[in-house]
Amino acid sequence: MNKALADLIRISNITGKDPALVQGGGGNTSVKTADGKHMYIKASGTALKDMNEAQGWRRMRLDSVLAIIQDKSIAKLPTQTREVEVVNRLLLACDDNVTSGARPSVEAHLHGLLDTCVIHLHPSAVSAYLNAREGKTRLEKLFRSEKAQPLWVPYVDPGFTLARTIGRLVEGYRKQFKRMPRILFLDKHGLFITAPTAGAALRLVHTVIDRCRETLRSPAAARTRPLQEAQVREATLCVRRACFEATGAYCPVTYVQDEIVAGFERRDDAKRLLSSGALTPDELVYSNGPAMWVDRCDAKAIAKRLIAQIAEGRKPSVAFLVKNVGLFIAGTGKIAQTVRDIVAYSLFIRANAQRMGGLRTLTRAEQRFINEWESEAFRMKLVSGEGRGQLQDRVAVVSGAGSGLGRSIAVGLARAGALVALTDIDQKSLQETARIISGEQSGKQAKVIPCDVTSEDSVRRAFEELMASWGGLDILVNAAGIAPPFALVDMPADKWRLALDVNLTGYFLMAREAARIMIAQGIGGSIINLSSKSGLDASKNNTAYNATKAGELHMARGWALELGEYGIRVNCIAPGNVFEGSRIWNPDYIKVCAKKYGIRPEEVIPYYVNKTALRREIKGQDIADAVVFLCSDKARTITGQTLVADSGQVMVR
């Protein structure tokens, strides 16, 4: 491996794995080649700790990078046009075999002005000074013994303006000290360390952090109060409802309560410290500003505040610090973890900056530039994930998700953007379904929750785990089921009772827990019972299946009447014969069917396909598509109905 690239990966991985140095994977690094012709730099949106030889970086022609800053015509362009032009020019400066479309860091032209190795970080220990009124003065005192003083960079808009400003300041510094600066403190932004070698750069990072920590205090840790599960659930659903009412967006909600959060929320000035506005570009981009302080969890009051933020042209809060309860974060897994890091970072900075003359936050104009900056929008898109499905970020539970139609439906919901909790008694099969989803979508989009739908305790625990993970529920699909194939005179009573337990009691227990959450949540929802054409048109030698599938239809109609006032829709899907991946259509069952119709086992599937009007075999995806439709807003007026997806075998009148 090229030495410059090896050094880049080394400094990136070492700094990126230290939570005291980075928040939410942020930061940039670069290393120039020995001949001075190229620069390896971190790719935009890549976490430092994740960079490796194969990905997470770009190689750039250094002369082309520096030419961007020197081009006077770029400076004359309108702001947003200029920034897009810079991004395009930086891409054109890349000289490598990377085909993923990864962008080089938008600060590449800035890196080009500095020494061989550059490490740009946002350490909380440094940012406490950079966001304090007395911060600059205190840093000067801390580093006055340095032979070459740190370079202070006043706040300017990031991107091209910042690069030109640093270029001018570095030139002035070189004239004064006859050398390049080693430490750059960027007001309200972060730390730049630049050195001729990777080792020297890493040593200097730790020197700066250790010195800055000397006069700082960690927020007083406090023991977390034991809370009742009902308190946390109530607050979680309250936050989720408020976000939905204000934005119309579905999102999971994560609960966080640790010693740092508990310590901060007990401060007398906690509310005031969080009302001061965004501290840094990262806090503004990823968490839409500081966490919202909530004295009492009232969904309407929180929604009103969020709506006011939007009316002012701001992005609505996604983090909520509820007094005496804890921190709640609205967002999917990856972005929620980033927001959690940013909030912890913010609490530390606010507590310490308060002791240094008070906070200095981003002005409205500075915030406006960042919110409109295409580069930050691109970075946020990479972190949060691309694509918007019909059911984006809705939380779904699918029973029987380990195989057959349950698996197909779970995969289909995930493809539509939903977060899917997979339940079944067969944990191994659930893991396989989860692997299928993670192979197509995101590893965070499916959650395995083993559950026996016939057990009241098992069902209750499954929904408790769901709430702890995603904080709400929008969709339930009852798909677990069995079909004991016996003629009436041969039907064992225990098989009859098992069918009732799985196909009826299981549907009832799952729907009861789902309805309780949806009612408390207050934003509606969708419940679907997976019935069968046999629930409409009885089949021979299928007493238990006929009875339970018909029962599922009628249960759903009753639930639709009960739950309609809460905006919860309940419908059924009655599939025809779906052979693909089915446990019901196993070899033994096929033999029973062959005997019933006097045909050979290999003729059974063609026989059933030919009974349909379309002469078309039904696949799992066909049923999944029907489920997605009924759960989507396109079916917003449909409830208490049965959608027959059987290629035209049973005609409902």
Judge whether 3-213 and 229-384 match in fold: yes
Asked if CATH classification 3.30.70.260 holds for the domain at 395-583+618-645, the reply, yes or no, is no
Residue 558: count of CB within 10 angstroms of its CB: 11
Q: How many helices (H) and strands (E) does the chain have?
A: 26, 18
3-state SS assignment for residue 275: coil
Average pLDDT over residues 601-614: 89
Mean pLDDT of the chain: 91
pLDDT tens per residue, range 63-81: 999 999 999 899 899 988 8
Q: Which pLDDT value is given to residue 259?
A: 83
- 24 vs 473: which has the higher pLDDT: 473
For 435-467, the pLDDT digits (tens) are 999 988 766 789 999 999 999 999 999 999 999
Residue 582 has a pLDDT of 79
The predicted pLDDT at position 382 comes to 46
Of 21-30, 154-163, 635-644, which gets the smallest average pLDDT? 21-30
Q: Which of 250, 345, 545, 608 is catalytic?
A: 545
Q: What span, in angstroms and rounded, lies between the C-alpha atoms of 402 and 281?
A: 44
Tell me, which fold does domain 3-213 have in CATH? L-fuculose-1-phosphate Aldolase (3.40.225)
Query: Domain segments of the chain: what residues?
Result: 3-213, 229-384, 395-583+618-645
pLDDT bin (cut points 50, 70, 90) of residue 46 is confident
Enter the tokens of residue 433: 């379904």
Measured CA to CA, the distance from residue 528 to residue 542 in angstroms comes to 23
Assigned token pair, 257: 């309560």
pLDDT of 59 above 50? yes
Look at residue 530 and tell me whether its pLDDT is greater than 60. Answer: yes
% of the chain with per-residue pLDDT over 90:
70
**pLDDT for residue 123 is more than 90:** yes
215 C-beta neighbours (distance < 10 Å), count? 15
pLDDT of residue 225: 65
Looking at residue 60, its pLDDT comes to 96
Query: What is the tens place of the pLDDT at every residue in 336-392?
Result: 888 998 999 899 999 999 999 999 999 989 988 888 775 555 454 545 555 568 999
Contact 322, 263 (CB under 8 A): no
DSSP 289-357: SSPEEESS--HHHHHHHHHHHHHTTPPPP-EEEETTTEEEEES-HHHHHHHHHHHHHHHHHHHHHGGGT
Lowest mean pLDDT among 145-149, 179-183, 411-415: 145-149
What residue type is 265 in one-letter code?
E
Q: Is 345 a catalytic residue?
A: no
Sheet with 57-61, side-by-side order of all strands: 57-61, 38-42, 28-32, 117-121, 190-195, 183-186, 151-153
Asked if residue 24 has pLDDT above 70, the reply is no
Q: How confident is the model at residue 224 (pLDDT cuts 50, 70, 90)?
A: low
Predicted pLDDT of residue 378: 46
pLDDT for residue 50 is more than 50: yes
3-class secondary-structure state, position 228: coil
Residue 334 φ/ψ region, left for φ over 0, alpha for ψ in the -120 to 50 degree band, beta for the rest: alpha
Q: What are phi and psi of 263, to 5 degrees?
A: -65, -40
| Residue 49 backbone zone (phi > 0: left; psi -120 to 50: alpha; other: beta) | alpha
The CATH label, of 3.40.225, 1.10.10, 3.30.70, 3.40.50, for the domain at 229-384 is 3.40.225
> What contacts 378, CB < 8 A, 6 or more positions away?
44, 45, 103
- Terminal Cα-to-Cα distance of the chain (whole angstroms): 71
Residue 146 confidence class, pLDDT cut points 50, 70, 90? confident
Report the alpha-carbon distance of residue 371 to residue 313 in Å, rounded. 10
Residues 6+ apart with CB under 8 A from 79: 157, 369
